[in-house]
């Protein structure tokens, strides 16, 4: 049986060489192709030649206190979403918010459990690599007026303006587009849509980010409602 994991290229950026070696060994043992870097500049130069399928990065890289964040900003300049997992000892609310605002799929504390990281990596790549098995662009129609989704590119548009969403948040938003107005999207459905990448206790945070993405287009946006104990629903103003 062919191991589909082998086709995935993961870039790991970590300035601690012992930690870097541990991450690389653990990921390679799972069949991933791993490219390792100890600094932001080398990683960016490599990305200019060929982009990886996933980036795992520390925040502090050498003398650059925000090297990982700067790397994420650089990735945003490419015309395709590259999922990022941050690993860091910095666990302030501001740092975690900044990481997610820059497009991070996850922000994990150090010291990291390698087993947990590997599970999250597999789940995340299952989402981002399954486009060919899902609806192709044009075959998926949103039931919500003004909301359009491109399954092929993991991009969503609100009144023809692109929303700033991660791949997992795109999958969560898709549940509302499929269900339509007035239908409750359960917590279990939202979590299942991300293949377990989003944990139950962080769903509210991702919904808040989705709402904020809409507010950047329409500041008075208030259509995603909390259904206490059940999940969320899309409710029109009428």
Q: What is the pLDDT of residues 20-47, one digit of tens each?
A: 999 999 999 999 999 999 999 999 999 9
The answer to whether the Cα torsion of 75, 124, 14, 32 is positive or negative is: negative
Entry pTM: 0.62
CB distance 209 to 224 below 8 Å: no
Token pair belonging to 109:
């504390």
* pLDDT 10s digits, 187-231: 999 988 877 677 778 899 889 999 999 999 999 999 999 999 899
Question: Which pLDDT value is given to residue 23?
Answer: 96
Alpha helices, DSSP H, located in the chain: 17-29, 40-49, 67-75, 93-101, 114-128, 167-179, 187-193, 203-215
Who has greater pLDDT, 2 or 65? 65
Asked whether the bond before 101 is cis by omega within 30 degrees of 0, the reply is: no
Structural domains present in the chain: 4-129 (3.40.50.2300), 133-234 (1.10.10.10)
- DSSP 8-class letter at 197: S
Question: Which pLDDT value is given to residue 201?
Answer: 81
Question: Which pLDDT value is given to residue 46?
Answer: 95
Phi, then psi, of 120 in degrees rounded to 5: -65, -40
Residue range 168-193: mean pLDDT, rounded: 90
CB distance 144 to 210 below 8 Å: no
* pLDDT 10s digits, 68-92: 999 998 988 887 778 899 999 998 8
Residue range 172-199: mean pLDDT, rounded: 88
């Amino acid at each position: 049986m062919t191991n589909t994991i082998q086709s995935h290229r993961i870039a790991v950026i970590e300035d601690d060489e012992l930690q870097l070696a541990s991450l690389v060994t653990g990921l390679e043992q799972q069949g991933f192709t791993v490219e390792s870097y100890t600094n932001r500049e080398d990683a960016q130069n490599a990305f200019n030649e060929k982009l990886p399928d996933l980036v795992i990065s520390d925040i502090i890289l050498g003398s650059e206190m925000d090297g990982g964040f700067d790397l994420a900003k650089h990735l945003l300049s490419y015309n395709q979403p590259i999922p990022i997992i941050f690993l860091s000892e910095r666990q302030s609310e501001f740092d975690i918010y900044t990481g997610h605002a820059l497009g991070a799929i996850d922000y994990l504390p150090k010291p990291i459990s390698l087993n947990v990281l590997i599970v999250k990596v597999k789940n995340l790549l299952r989402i981002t690599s399954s486009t060919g098995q899902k609806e192709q662009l044009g075959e998926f129609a949103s039931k919500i007026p003004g909301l359009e989704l491109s399954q092929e590119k993991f991009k969503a548009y609100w009144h023809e303006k692109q929303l700033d969403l991660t791949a997992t948040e795109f999958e969560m938003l898709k549940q509302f587009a499929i269900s339509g107005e007035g239908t409750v999207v359960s917590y279990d459905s939202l979590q299942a849509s991300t293949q377990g990448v989003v944990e139950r206790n962080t769903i509210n945070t991702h919904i808040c980010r989705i709402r904020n993405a809409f507010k950047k287009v329409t500041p008075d946006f208030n259509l995603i409602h909390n259904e206490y104990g059940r999940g969320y629903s899309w409710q029109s103003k009428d």
